[in-house]
Each structure stands twice: as C-alpha cells, then as structure tokens.
Amino acid sequence: MGKLIALGISLLLVVGTAINTAVGHDTDGFSAGDIAKKAMSSTAMKNVKAICALTDFEDACIKTLTPVANNKSATPEDYLKAAFEATNGEVEAALEKSGVIGKDAQGSIDKMAVEDCKELLQFAIDDLQSAISMAGDPEKNKAADVTAEFKNWLSAVVSYQESCIDGFEHPELKNSMQNGLLNATQLTSNALTIIGQMSSILKALNINFDFNIKSRRRLLDAQGYPTWFAPTDRKLLALQDNGRVAPNAVVAKDGSGHYKTIAEALAAYPKKKGSQKNDSSTSRYVIYVKAGTYDEYITITKDQTNILMYGDGPTSTIITGHKSNREGISTFQTASFSVIGDGFICRSMGFHNTAGPEGHQAVALRVQSDRAAFFNCRMDGYQDTLYVQAHRQFYKNCAISGTIDFIFGDSSTVIQNSLIIVRRPLDNQQNTVTAQGKKFKDESTGLVLQNCKIVPEQRLVAERLKIPSYLGRPWKEYAVTVIMESTIGDVIRPEGWMPWAGDFALDTLFYAEYNNRGPGANTDHRVKWKGFKVITKKDEALRYTVGPFIQGDEWLKDTGSPFTLGLRY
C-alpha cells in the first residue's frame, strides 16, 4: 500500500515538473512538440496525456512532461521532488523579475507593492521548500496526510502570488507582475488539480487503488484544544486560565514586567526555536502581556514559531495601530499585528486599527501562520479588519468588527462561537462581512463561520435596514464561504450576498448556508446565483466543520460551551 501511495503522489506531481524548462524551447534539437509527438505512442506518454487532460493548462502540461516521462531511471521520489523544485524555480524567477518591474514604480503604493512582492514570493519559496523536504522524506510521507499538507502549502503559494499582484495600483505594473508570475501560477494550478483528482488519475491509468489517505491528526481533543498543541501547551493554557502560568517574558507598560514593549519581548525569543518548522515538540515561548494599550506595530516573524501570547482580556490588553491604504500604504503593510511564524497561539488580547472608515483598507490583524489559533480575542477595525491570509487558522469565542470585507483572505479558516459586529460605514457605502479569495478551484481554502452571531453595532442599529449589509462578496473566482448554525440578525439584506462586479465569479464561487437562525437567516429571497447553495444534508455540512476542513478527524469536544463534538443539531 505504501508503494502505491508513493506512486500516486509521484504521478500527481509529474504534471508540474518542468513548466519552466520546456515551453516553447528546443530539447536536443527537437521542439517540445516534436518530442511529444514522437513519444505519444509510448505507455509513458499515454499516461501523461491522461494526467494532463484534467488540468487547466493541458498543452503546457503535455509539452513539459516529456523529458520526465522519458527518464526511465527516475524514481517516484525523483518525480515528487522535481515537481516542487520546478515550481520553486519559477517563483525564484518571478522574484528576480519583481526587481526589474520595480524600476518603473512611481507612486508610494506601487513602490511598496514591489517590496511586498519580494517578501511574499520568499514566503512562497519557503512553503515550496517545505514541500520539497516532505517529498524527499518517506518517513514524513507515512506520518502525515500528505495530500492535505501539499495542498495546504500550494494553496498558500497561490495566496502569496495573488497578494503580490493585487498590491499594485498602476494597471501596467500589475500586468507586468502578473505576466512575470504566469508560469509559476500555471504550474501551481496544475499540481493542485492533479492532487485533487488523484482517484480519477489512478482509475485512468488502470491502477486499482483508493487514494484516500485518512488524516492521522486529530485537530481538537476532548478539552477543545487543537491537537497540534503539545501536552505542555495544554498545560500552559490550563494554567493560564487559573492565573498560574509562568511566562518566559512579561510585558508591562508600567515597568512591572521584564519588558515595556512587545517588540522587546519578541527580540528575546531564542533563535534556536525557529529551526524546527511545524515542530510541536519544540517548547513554547510564552509571552504574557499585561493590561494596557500598546501602540506598536508587531510582526511574529517566520523564525518565531510556537509562540503562546496571552493578555488580561480582549478589552484590557490591546495592540493598536492606524496605518491605512489612504496614507499610501499597501493593505499588506497596514496591519497593526502580523503573524507569520507557524503554530502561534493567542488568548485574551485585542487588536485594533483606528484609521476609521475614511482610511479604507486598514488591517488590525494579519495571519499567515499555519495552525494558528485565537481564543477569546477581539479584532476591531472598519474595512479589512481581519486578514486571514494563508494556511490553516482557528478562532473561538472572539469578537470581530468592521464594515467592508472585514474578514478576508485565502486561508482555510474556521471561526466558531464568535460575535461578528457590523459597523456603520461611510455614507453611500455598504457592508460586506467576508471576501474570500480562492483563485483556483482545487485550492483547499475557504472561510467557515459556525455558531456565530452576526449583529449591528449600536451606531448602526437605527439605520440597519437602510444601509445595505451582506454576508460577503467574491474577491476571487472560486471564493468559498459557509455560514452555518449561526444567528443572523436583520442587519443582513434578504438577498444575503453581494456581487463583486457584474457577474464575476457568480457561477464558480461556492457560498452556502446551513441551519442558521435569526431574522436574517431566511433564505427564501437569497441570490439565485449558480454558485449559491442552501445545504440541507448534514453529511454535506460536515465537510466544512473543523475536522475535515482543517485536517482533523474529530470535532470540538464539549468545553463547557453549548457545543458538543460535531454539528450542533
């Protein structure tokens, strides 16, 4: 069985092996098309054709697979590593091009977008390196749901590519960057498709094997904590609840702690802890931030993994900032608090952006940390409050407020038992709670709100029926948002959802509602888009719960809240 799994994985990645090496080029005196034509009668090329038929870029796929298919000595591991290495090469090439494109940048937004691209594409390279490492380590393949891991990394690569492109204001510069990333996006798309269609591929190749690796990782345990938390982590959280946790660093503005700023506490983070990516066995670095308002811009860097940070409550311990797009700052850089390092846990803290509705895009909290979890936190802003940018994220018992697209991004995120507060926007504006950004259909991303309450803030109550408010709008072609088992107030319009522009994405998105309640939950007058659905079957709703959606095999256990493991009803 293990060999068949390895074979299946190697076949999925054959698709993307060399998009950057063969399109439109000659190989040993023959064009890629000539080589493909001569070899098509072979078994290898028939298999290649069957695989490529499933991709969105079939011609490029067939042309580029020929050199790999004709290498009879290649092992499954070689195919696997080669695929990600080729993707990595394309992203590195795009990274170099961003510097050339940057020479033509004039405005502050575009200049900042160039720098953002350099950072974002490096994040993409980091994730691809993680994929390469897993591909070359059979023991890792046995120990994890490799399909989920690869899709998680590749989906994040797409998110970073799109964030890079979206950052440009000038159309010509945006087009130049988009063209510079074309090969990389095609390669990533093809690889995602093959991963998602593995069962069909094996059937087409007459391999009788059910490629369905069940996740071996329970995401949440009987106490309601994600199971990637090491036993010491659960102990730390339990101690924290009782006020007995012994942090590595204490931050206090009044000088009663080790440091007066959060930045100082992070600077003391032991360097060695960043050496083990996704290693939950690495002990936590615990930071306790005492009550106070901390006006400082904080980034948990990629090397600062496995941090547990907690405060004295979401309205007592507050990190605040005021950067906004109106000031000429890219959305990516407006965040008051940014989390990059994997395995970040946060509890009992507040994150604000005080730019106001006049600031337009102004992020309070940006998260791209894989396996990030927030408990009893608050995120306050207006437009683009919470940027769930990439990877797998979990929020519980939080409060999130805003106006336009105030929960947005392209991650796999579940928000449970939380208060979603719709604020009063500027005159002649509308409110949209979500703007999910899934670019390709085979990404594993989406946004799920479960057992949440969607209500207006006090300032909006009197005008809630006049100012239009919606559950969301599609930022990208395949946006996925599911609202289930939630209370929806009458602040939400009867049609429920808002178009982005014309009929963009209305057929390709997936917006769904399941078993909601409240005056705004009636679906009789919801939009009639092809991509909208009212889920009626429990089995279908279960796909978007914490376990299946972010690689757990079980639901939240009873933690003292009304929830039990699984769906509420």
Active site residues: 405
Q: CA-CA distance, 120 to 109, in Å (whole number)?
A: 16
Tokens in use for 184?
Answer: 């990389």
Instruction: Using alpha carbons, select from 159, 157, 163, 156 the residue that is nearest to residue 177.
Output: 163
CA atoms 462, 468, 471, 472: torsion sign: negative
**Residue 58 token pair:** 């079939």
Dist. CA 77–CA 94, nearest whole Å: 26
**Tokens 């038992």 map to which residue?**
417
Instruction: Decide if 363 contacts 387 (C-beta within 8 A).
Output: yes
Both tokens assigned to 341: 């390092």
Distance CA 59, CA 27 (A): 17
Long-range own/partner contacts, residues 498-506 (CB < 8 A, 24 or more apart): 498/430, 498/432, 498/468, 498/470, 498/472, 498/473, 499/473, 499/474, 500/473, 500/474, 500/475, 504/474, 504/477, 505/474, 505/476, 505/477, 505/478, 505/479, 505/531, 506/474, 506/530, 506/531
How far the first Cα of the chain sits from its last, in Å, is 38
Burial class (CB in 10 A: 0-12, 13-18, 19+), 28: exposed
Among residues 498, 482, 416, 496, the alpha carbon closest in space to that of 445 is found at 482
User: DSSP assignment, residue 547?
Assistant: H
Q: Which of 64, 128, 68, 67 is nearest to 92 (CA)?
A: 128
SS3 of residue 323 by DSSP: coil
Taken in order 242, 246, 249, 252, the sign of the CA dihedral is positive
Q: And the tokens for 524?
A: 């009789």
- How are beta strands 285-289 and 532-534 bridged, if at all? unpaired
Distances in Å between the alpha carbon of 283 and those of 61, 221, 230, 318? 44, 19, 8, 26
| Alpha carbons 299 and 367: distance in angstroms, whole number | 10
